[in-house]
Amino acid sequence: MEEVALIRIVAVKFLQAVPVILIISILAFLLLSLLPGDPALIIAGEQASPAAVEQVRRQLGLDRSFLEQLGIWLFNLAQGNFGSSLVLNQSVLSAVAERLPVTLSLAALSISFTIPVGVLLGSVAAYFRRTWIDSAVMTVALLGVSIPAFWIAILGVILFSVQLGWVPSSGFTPISQGVGPWFASLALPALILSLFQIGFLARMTRSAMLDVLGQDYIRTARAKGLSEWRTVGKHALRNALILIITATGILLSAAIGGSVIIEQVFALPGIGRMVVQAILARDYPLVQGTMLILGFTFVMINLIVDILYTLADPRVRHD
Amino acid sequence: MIMPLLSVRNLTVQFRVDSGWVTAVDDVSLDVGEGDCVGIVGESGSGKSVTALSILQLHQRATTRIPSGTITYQGQDLLRERGSTMRRIRGSEIAMIFQDPMSSLNPVLTIADQISETLRQHQGLTGVAARKRVVELLGLVRIPDATRRADDYPHRLSGGMRQRVMIAMAIACKPRLLIADEPTTALDVTIQAQILELLRDLRKELKMSVMLISHDLGVIAEFAQSVIVMYAGRVVEEAPVAQLFRRPVHPYTVGLIAAVPKLDSDAPRLATIAGRIPGPQEIIVGCRFSPRCALVQPRCRDEPPLMQPVSDGQSARCPPRILVLGERHG
Ligand SMILES: Nc1ncnc2c1ncn2[C@@H]1O[C@H](COP(=O)(O)OP(=O)(O)O)[C@@H](O)[C@H]1O
Ligand SMILES: [Mg+2]
């Protein structure tokens, strides 16, 4: 009975994601048509001959009517065709697929720093609320969210790469060349990316925990003779987790967004760096397609978070 | 003289609020003997829960202080104990159930999980053995279909069933003393009667002492052998239950008795005590009941009255009334 309910919830969430995906697709399409001026001219460049501009226009289908263009765009998308890069001589999909592992491993690594540290800091602050421990932890969290990422990145490179020589200052080593070098090439960028997130998650966790620690069932847990560790680590955290999971979805999306800057600073060949280069090279189809794929990724992340949330809360599960 | 199981002496409990420290419980003394059932009664806000929570040290450490008093359990002063000793006593020697069974159970853990936790903590029971005992306990508190219910989450149960789960959890390790803080207040009248009956049976079966807290003297009358009446943080009267109803001394007790609905009376409205109970931050010189008391005398407002013995087992905190009653009887 429970499994059936679960499958139904998952199905409903998937259906709810469909209109969102459609809207994202249309927005990505509008991105190109809303550019000021003539996109064909911008893409071909100011110095291009009128014939060359016409060529670009036809190539991109810009000579057709607006609705026709939208129809073709959606039709192509439905077939998994996200367009082709003008510069890279590659389809958008393969360009993204090539760089996605870098961005994803960066995001995943930073999240795997963020979650244990953020949850621990937030829980400790909540448990020792209104003491010096709470103030100290929250000051660190505030620093994490307020220090600009590029500034701390430069400091980090000076300290860990130049002075200590622990990690390379830039570049990426694929995991196929060994887990150690891969980790070393991503550790510093991931750490810096997670600073902001740790601050954010610690604050979220603290307020969720404060709420939970005041609940009657926490008093019940203590009245049973459970240790503080079990009371907080099991009874309180399981409840706070429901809120923390929601925050994690935002974090993962933010980590992918934040990697644009970090990839730039550390010269990591990920999606963020590719998009920046594509914008500079006026490779609009690549920008457009990448935005779209990232949009889909965010939708999927939120979908997964939604489902995890359902799993964590038996009350939602049964409704 | 035999030592009672639990003895609270001159307990004072203070809380830190914005304006400083306030006294929520003032100089409370009470005894619970082996196998006894003691009732604590008083309007909401009279300090019953604060007294009960002090016994197991369940107050927030940072905002609570206990400037005076002792709480002696089997010869051991609990107020001197910390950490592991208190944890060993909680749930295994002294167990507690609370007013709101909806919020007192953890919503994200199954019933079996929550009960077996106590078993593991105090008896080292795990796995199949714990499971077996959980089902047994659910049967003991008369939850139908216990095997299946064990795997439910609390929100699937009715209020009465949840309170039964709380009781099962409390008696899991056969405590010597059960503190029941308004166990039926949040429940329907018919369910109330069932829960009280269950508690009565379990008390006999397990030979445990019970401290029953209620704002409803009717509930106390049905259950307890002796009664402590509290008002605004102080004990104002204590007596064996029959004695209390036969000859209440304190005007507050008289008012509480008048407010109990009687089945054989056709009075259209219940008598209530005019006015309201003062909060801990309100300063009242003398008797804290004097602003509401119909029999108030000038001296009541001058100095706080002391507890005085009235007769065997009965004492009250109202010198003028004791004097009058003494003259009438003597
Ligand atoms: N943690 C606390 N901080 C401040 N005041 C409290 C706290 N707990 C209880 N009080 C106050 O102490 C008084 C007695 O409360 P309580 O013992 O809960 O009454 P009751 O007899 O209804 O159980 C009330 O006025 C209540 O507001
Ligand atoms: Mg109470």
As a whole number, the mean pLDDT across chain B is 92
Query: Does A226 sit within 8 Å of B95, measured CB to CB?
Result: no
**Residue B171: pLDDT above 60?**
yes
- A87 vs B67, which has greater pLDDT? B67
Half-sphere exposure of B71 (CA within 13 A, CB side): 19
Q: Pick from B85, B106, B171 the residue to mutate for testing the A interface (most A CBs within 10 Å).
A: B106
Mean pLDDT of A51-72: 84
Ligand nearest to the CA of B25: 1
Give chain A positions within 8 Å (CB) of B107.
217, 239, 313-315
| Spatial contact of B4 and B32, defined as CB atoms under 8 Å apart | yes
Q: What is the pLDDT of residue B200?
A: 94
**Residue B328: pLDDT above 80?**
no
| Spatial contact of B11 and B54, defined as CB atoms under 8 Å apart | yes
**CA-based nearest distance B17→chain A, Å:** 14
- B326 vs B123, which has greater pLDDT? B123
**Residue B66: pLDDT above 90?**
yes
Rounded-to-integer distance, Cα B74 and Cα B5, Å: 5
Q: What is the pLDDT of residue A60?
A: 77
Q: Return the ligand 1 atom nearest residue B230 CA.
A: 21
Mean pLDDT of B216-229: 94
Distance from the CA of B13 to the center of ligand 2, in angstroms? 15
* Chain B residue closest in CA terms to A311: B108
Q: What is the pLDDT of residue B264?
A: 60
The angle at the Cα of A190, spanning A188 to A196, to the nearest 5 degrees, equals 110
Rounded-to-integer distance, Cα B144 and Cα B141, Å: 9
Give chain B positions within 8 Å (CB) of A312.
108
Tell me the pLDDT tens digit for each residue of A218-231.
Answer: 999 999 999 999 99
Tell me the pLDDT tens digit for each residue of B226-262.
Answer: 999 999 999 999 999 999 999 999 999 999 999 887 6
Mean pLDDT of A118-136: 94
Percent of chain B, pLDDT > 90? Answer: 83
Distance from the CA of B262 to the center of ligand 1, in angstroms? 29
Q: Of A242-256, B21-35, B164-178, B308-322, give the lowest mean pLDDT range.
A: A242-256
Residue closest via CA to ligand 1's atom 20 equals B45
Rounded-to-integer distance, Cα B314 and Cα B326, Å: 13
**Residue A32: pLDDT above 80?**
no
Alpha helices in chain A (DSSP H): 2-33, 39-44, 50-59, 66-78, 92-127, 132-146, 149-156, 179-213, 216-223, 228-230, 237-266, 271-280, 284-312, 314-318
Residue closest via CA to ligand 1's atom 10 equals B24
Query: Does A131 sit within 8 Å of B62, measured CB to CB?
Result: yes
Mean pLDDT of A126-144: 92
Rounded-to-integer distance, Cα A173 and Cα A183, Å: 8
Query: Does B90 sit within 8 Å of A223, measured CB to CB?
Result: yes
Distance from the CA of B79 to the center of ligand 1, in angstroms? 19
3-state secondary structure string across A254-292:
HHHHHHHHHHHHHCCCCHHHHHHHHHHCCCHHHHHHHHH
Mean pLDDT of A288-304: 88
**Residue B308: pLDDT above 60?**
yes
**Residue A191: pLDDT above 70?**
yes
Q: What is the pLDDT of residue A319?
A: 57
Q: Of A24-38, B49-63, B161-175, give the lowest mean pLDDT range.
A: A24-38
**CA-based nearest distance A103→chain B, Å:** 35
**Residue A39: pLDDT above 90?**
no
A227 touching B (Cβ < 8 Å): yes
**H or E, element range at B167:** helix B159-171
Query: Does B156 sit within 8 Å of A219, measured CB to CB?
Result: no
Q: Which residues pair with B179 in a beta bridge?
A: B96, B211
Give chain A positions within 8 Å (CB) of B96.
223
As a whole number, the mean pLDDT across chain A is 87
Q: What is the pLDDT of residue A149?
A: 79
Q: What is the pLDDT of residue A174?
A: 85
- A254 vs B155, which has greater pLDDT? B155
Q: Which of A215, A222, A225 sits opposite B103 (nearest CB)?
A: A215
Q: What is the pTM of this model?
A: 0.86
Ligand 1 probe mutation, B15, B50, B211, B216, most atoms within 8 A of CB:
B50
pLDDT band at B1 (very low <50, low <70, confident <90, very high): low
Q: What is the DSSP string of B100-113?
A: -HHHHS-TTS-HHH
Mean pLDDT of B5-27: 95
Q: Which two tokens stand for residue B109?
A: 């853990």
Query: Does A235 sit within 8 Å of B89, measured CB to CB?
Result: no
Q: What is the pLDDT of residue B8?
A: 97
Ligand 1 probe mutation, B49, B57, B66, most atoms within 8 A of CB:
B49
Distance from the CA of B48 to the center of ligand 2, in angstroms? 6
C-alpha dihedral sign at B253, B254, B260, B263: positive
Residue closest via CA to ligand 1's atom 8 equals B50
CA-nearest of B268, B272, B288, B290 to B280 is: B288
- Residues sharing a CB contact under 8 Å with residue B244, sequence separation 6 or more, in sequence order: B227, B229, B237, B253, B257, B314
First to last CA, chain B: 29
Is B165 a pocket residue for ligand 1 (Cβ < 6 Å)? no
**CA-based nearest distance B146→chain A, Å:** 19
Distance from the CA of B20 to the center of ligand 1, in angstroms? 15
Q: What is the pLDDT of residue B329?
A: 67
Query: Does B104 sit within 8 Å of A131, measured CB to CB?
Result: no
CA-nearest of A233, A283, A281, A311 to A92 is: A283
Ligand nearest to the CA of B50: 1
Kindly state the greatest CA–CA separation across chain B.
68
Separation in Å, CA B258 to CA B15, B252, B262, B293: 33, 10, 9, 14
CB B317: neighbour CB atoms within 10 A?
25
Q: What is the pLDDT of residue A285?
A: 86
CA-nearest of A16, A96, A101 to A293 is: A96
The angle at the Cα of B91, spanning B200 to A229, to the nearest 5 degrees, equals 155
Q: What is the pLDDT of residue B267?
A: 56
**Residue B265: pLDDT above 70?**
no
Q: Return the ligand 1 atom nearest residue B60 CA.
A: 1
Q: What is the pLDDT of residue A118?
A: 94
- B213 vs A7, which has greater pLDDT? B213
Query: Does B122 sit within 8 Å of A235, measured CB to CB?
Result: no
Q: What is the pLDDT of residue A73?
A: 86
Query: Does B107 sit within 8 Å of A225, measured CB to CB?
Result: no
